[in-house]
């Protein structure tokens, strides 16, 4: 994890994962919602403030103790001219975790005498729309919009990344219930903006305009199989957007119109849309054009040149695709454990993703191998850090992937921030099909621990692959007992790449007609548990640049079969299985028990000499045996 001199000098802060005292900062795991007010207000208004309300997640600043706090956004007089004479009728406040005893106030400076106050209630995990009891007139002077309240220890406040509000975004804090002076900290100097925005109405705010900012469609799509069109519409003008039409046309097919209705998209806010089950029968490369039209039932826009986006999709009898997730983590990394939990949450509903872990990026540990350090090349930067990840070795900066300094990712490796971002990045690659298939056959001899692996596949589209292909094969182990910074007691590491059976950068693939095949052998060392091992293989482009090594398809199989945990087995229950704190406890009669994680991996085997097992937070399956009787139970450790 990269540490800068600035961070070390400001020892009150924990910014971007650098450990210190006082203020702390970590990424939100909740998707920001829009909580509308029940009070109707004008639909002609401009948004005042620095924060980007389209953010996919808050980067919360918090405190390690119960506190009274103030969050402030200051607009200097030289930046307020476009709003002078207008009426501030609403305030949007973004909140990460719950805060109480909250009051909105408006002043000329962050600590100045309030000119307006209003008690408010804020919901966590989103932007709260607050209608002022009385409109506040904007004058040609400094303006500070603030709110104060009380927060319990480790509450994460609403803060978003960005430097637009340099020296104008602040947080103040003191011990809860104290009468001492507040301590003020400048957030904007740390590339952060307070999540506060104002909505200002003025008679001359009459413009209407949207930007169609992004569109996502698969590049390869199987014929006669439904796909989705995803897009984002951004409101650049004063008129609130209540409805619009999405018109899409694929090839020479007739255009199809899909209405998006019953929405409120304010100035500087955005609306995501998804159109599902689009199908095409023709096997060809076809253009797709999508247009946003009919704003609010036909209101004239100021500019329609940015309402259309186009792309092309190759339709054919392609192969099912799995996504390769390569994660950089280490035992001493203080922020890696929360990243593990985020990825586990994302992958619970995405079984098409294959996760492997390289123990590098922040120091090293007993699981680090030379290949892990070699793959630091994919950061495409001298600054490396953990936790970090890459998906299909694809640069995702266009979707918002950033490095540890909150700058666009230079290579395919990106910093792990919010759940929403991880899901967005993963889904952007999951929608595609593949040019080629990947199949794995394996044979393991327990007598000599020799593993033979054959990876094969086919492609009916070899001529369309314009890159040299390499095949890489990993040997991966789960449930490796060790330690993890931030976790007390033993920690079981999963997805660890233990060996690379191919060359580190893969082996060149040679097609015999439409097929390819490669065989590898490996003697599994005695210190590795074959019952916890899998083989991951993938096809990728071979390139001299980190951003040119895209993974086309991947596959993974366990060496030994894993336990299915879809439904607990039912037999006579002779014991009660439950969680107590961070332990799984078995009360009653049993001779042995096996504890599996949510992926079916064996975590621990015990006999009746002990009845409890320490476990990380998560879902577990406990298989209990008592003589010739067995049953299984699901247990959640929180």
CATH number for 597: 2.60.40
Confidence (pLDDT) at 13: 32
| 433 within 8 A of 218, measured Cβ to Cβ | yes
The CA radius of gyration of the chain, in Å to the nearest whole number, is 28
CA 155 – CA 64 distance, rounded (Å): 8
Q: How many CB atoms lie within 10 A of CB 252?
A: 8
Among positive and negative, which fits the CA dihedral 376, 379, 385, 389? negative
| 493 within 8 A of 357, measured Cβ to Cβ | yes
CATH number for 36: 2.60.120
119 lies in the same domain as 193: yes
Mean pLDDT for all residues in the chain: 87
Tell me the per-residue pLDDT of 144-163, one tens digit each, with 9 for 90 and over: 999 999 998 878 788 887 77
Residue 252 is assigned to a structural domain of this protein: yes
238 lies in the same domain as 130: no
488 lies in the same domain as 427: yes
Confidence (pLDDT) at 19: 26
| 198 within 8 A of 49, measured Cβ to Cβ | yes
293 lies in the same domain as 229: yes
As a whole-number percent, the residues of the chain with pLDDT over 70 amount to: 90
Confidence (pLDDT) at 15: 31
288 lies in the same domain as 351: no
Q: Residue 117 pLDDT > 80, yes or no?
A: yes
Residue 452 is assigned to a structural domain of this protein: yes
88 lies in the same domain as 146: yes
Q: Residue 215 pLDDT > 80, yes or no?
A: yes
CATH number for 253: 2.60.40.10
370 lies in the same domain as 312: no
Residue 263 φ/ψ, nearest 5 degrees: -125, 165
Q: Residue 191 pLDDT > 80, yes or no?
A: no
Looking at 561, 588, 617, the residue that finishes a domain is 561
Question: CA distances (Å), 145 to each of 72, 109, 452, 535, 635, in order?
Answer: 6, 9, 66, 56, 47
Residues 6+ positions from 37 with CB-CB distance below 8 Å:
90, 129, 130, 131
DSSP H or E stretch at residue 438: none
Confidence (pLDDT) at 150: 95
Looking at 256, 287, 316, the residue that finishes a domain is 316
Confidence (pLDDT) at 163: 77
236 lies in the same domain as 371: no
The answer to whether the pTM exceeds 0.85 is no
CA 230 – CA 486 distance, rounded (Å): 38
- Both tokens of 469, joined, read 């292909």
At residue 599 the predicted structure's pLDDT band, cuts being 50, 70 and 90, is low
Residue 432 is assigned to a structural domain of this protein: yes
Q: How many domains does the chain have?
A: 4
Confidence (pLDDT) at 97: 81
Burial grade of 338 (CB within 10 A; 0-12, 13-18, 19 or more): middle
Residue 568 is assigned to a structural domain of this protein: no
Tell me the per-residue pLDDT of 287-308, one tens digit each, with 9 for 90 and over: 999 999 999 999 999 999 999 9
338 lies in the same domain as 277: no
CA 631 – CA 593 distance, rounded (Å): 10
CA 382 – CA 36 distance, rounded (Å): 45
Please compute the mean of the pLDDT values over residues 496-516 and round it to a whole number: 97
229 lies in the same domain as 196: no
Residue 567 is assigned to a structural domain of this protein: no
Residue 290, helix vs strand vs coil: strand
Tell me the per-residue pLDDT of 450-483, one tens digit each, with 9 for 90 and over: 999 999 999 988 888 788 999 999 999 998 999 9
Question: Which range is most confident: 178-192, 225-239, 458-472?
Answer: 225-239
76 lies in the same domain as 155: yes
Q: Residue 33 pLDDT > 70, yes or no?
A: no
Contacts 24+ apart (CB under 8 A), 631-636: 631/568, 631/569, 631/570, 631/571, 631/572, 631/573, 632/565, 632/568, 632/569, 633/568, 633/577, 634/565, 634/568, 635/577, 635/578, 635/579, 635/584, 636/579
Residue 627 vs residue 230, higher pLDDT: 230
Residue 566 is assigned to a structural domain of this protein: no
238 lies in the same domain as 372: no
Residues 6+ positions from 165 with CB-CB distance below 8 Å:
49, 50, 51, 73, 188, 193, 194
At residue 598 the predicted structure's pLDDT band, cuts being 50, 70 and 90, is low
Tell me the per-residue pLDDT of 248-257, one tens digit each, with 9 for 90 and over: 999 999 999 9
| 389 within 8 A of 383, measured Cβ to Cβ | no
At residue 195 the predicted structure's pLDDT band, cuts being 50, 70 and 90, is very high
Confidence (pLDDT) at 36: 57
Residue 587 is assigned to a structural domain of this protein: yes
Residue 569 is assigned to a structural domain of this protein: no
Domain that holds residue 188: 5-201
Question: CA distances (Å), 328 to each of 264, 450, 458, 597, in order?
Answer: 40, 28, 31, 21
Question: CA distances (Å), 127 to each of 75, 94, 270, in order?
Answer: 20, 4, 13
| 562 within 8 A of 600, measured Cβ to Cβ | yes
Looking at 165, 182, 201, the residue that finishes a domain is 201
């Amino acid at each position: 994890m990269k540490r800068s001199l600035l961070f070390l000098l400001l020892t009150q802060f924990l910014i971007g994962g650098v450990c210190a005292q006082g203020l702390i900062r970590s990424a939100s795991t909740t998707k920001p919602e829009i909580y509308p007010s029940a009070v109707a207000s004008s639909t002609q208004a401009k948004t005042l403030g620095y924060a980007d309300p389209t953010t996919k997640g808050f980067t919360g600043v918090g405190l390690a103790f119960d506190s009274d706090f103030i969050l402030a956004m200051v607009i200097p007089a030289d930046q307020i001219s476009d709003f002078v004479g207008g009426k501030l009728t609403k305030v949007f406040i973004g909140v990460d975790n719950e805060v109480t005893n909250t009051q909105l106030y408006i002043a000329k400076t962050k600590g100045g005498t309030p000119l307006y106050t209003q008690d408010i209630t804020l919901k966590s995990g989103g932007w709260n729309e607050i209608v002022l009891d009385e409109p506040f007139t904007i004058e040609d002077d400094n303006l500070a919009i603030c709110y104060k309240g009380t927060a319990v220890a480790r509450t994460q406040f609403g803060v978003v990344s960005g430097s637009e509000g340099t020296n104008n975004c602040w947080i103040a804090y003191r011990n809860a219930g104290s009468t001492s002076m507040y301590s003020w900290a400048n957030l904007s100097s740390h590339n952060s903006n307070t999540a506060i925005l104002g909505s200002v109405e003025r008679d001359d705010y009459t413009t209407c305009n949207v930007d169609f900012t992004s569109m996502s469609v698969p590049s390869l799509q199987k014929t006669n199989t439904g796909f989705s069109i995803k897009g984002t519409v951004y409101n650049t003008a004063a008129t609130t957007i209540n409805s619009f039409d999405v018109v899409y046309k694929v090839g020479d097919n007739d255009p199809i119109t899909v209405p998006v209705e019953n929405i409120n998209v304010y100035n500087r806010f955005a609306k995501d849309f998804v159109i599902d089950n689009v199908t095409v029968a023709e096997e060809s490369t076809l253009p797709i054009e999508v247009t946003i039209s009919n704003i609010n039932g036909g209101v004239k826009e100021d500019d329609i040149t940015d309402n259309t986006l186009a792309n092309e999709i190759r339709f054919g009898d392609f192969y099912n695709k799995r996504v390769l997730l390569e994660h950089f983590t280490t035992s001493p990394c203080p922020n890696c454990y929360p990243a593990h939990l985020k990825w586990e949450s994302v992958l619970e509903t995405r079984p098409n993703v294959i996760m492997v872990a390289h123990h590098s990026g922040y120091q090293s540990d007993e699981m680090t191998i030379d290949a892990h350090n070699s793959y630091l090349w994919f950061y495409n930067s001298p600054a490396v850090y953990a936790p970090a990840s890459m998906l299909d070795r694809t640069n995702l900066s266009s979707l918002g992937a950033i490095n540890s300094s909150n700058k666009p990712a230079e290579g395919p490796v990106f910093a792990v921030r919010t759940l929403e971002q991880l899901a967005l990045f993963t889904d952007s690659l999951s929608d595609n099909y593949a040019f080629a298939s990947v199949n794995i056959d394996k044979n393991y001899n327990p007598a000599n621990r020799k593993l033979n692996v054959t990876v094969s596949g086919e492609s009916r589209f070899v001529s369309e692959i314009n890159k040299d292909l390499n095949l890489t094969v990993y040997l991966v182990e789960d449930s490796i007992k060790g330690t993890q910074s931030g976790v007390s007691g033993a920690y079981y590491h999963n997805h660890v790449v233990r060996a690379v059976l191919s060359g580190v950068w893969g082996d060149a693939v040679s097609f015999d007609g439409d097929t390819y095949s490669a065989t590898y052998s490996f003697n599994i060392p005695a210190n590795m548990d074959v019952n916890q091992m899998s083989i991951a293989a993938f096809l990728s482009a071979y390139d001299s640049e980190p951003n040119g090594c895209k993974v086309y398809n991947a596959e993974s199989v366990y060496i030994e079969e894993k336990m299915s945990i879809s439904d607990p087995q039912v037999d006579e229950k002779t014991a009660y299985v439950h969680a107590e704190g961070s332990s799984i406890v078995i009360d009653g009669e049993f001779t042995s028990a096996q504890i599996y994680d949510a992926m079916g991996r064996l975590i621990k085997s015990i006999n009746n000499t002990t009845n409890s097992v320490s476990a990380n937070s998560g879902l577990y399956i406990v298989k209990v045996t008592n003589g010739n009787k067995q049953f299984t139970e699901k247990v959640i450790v929180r």
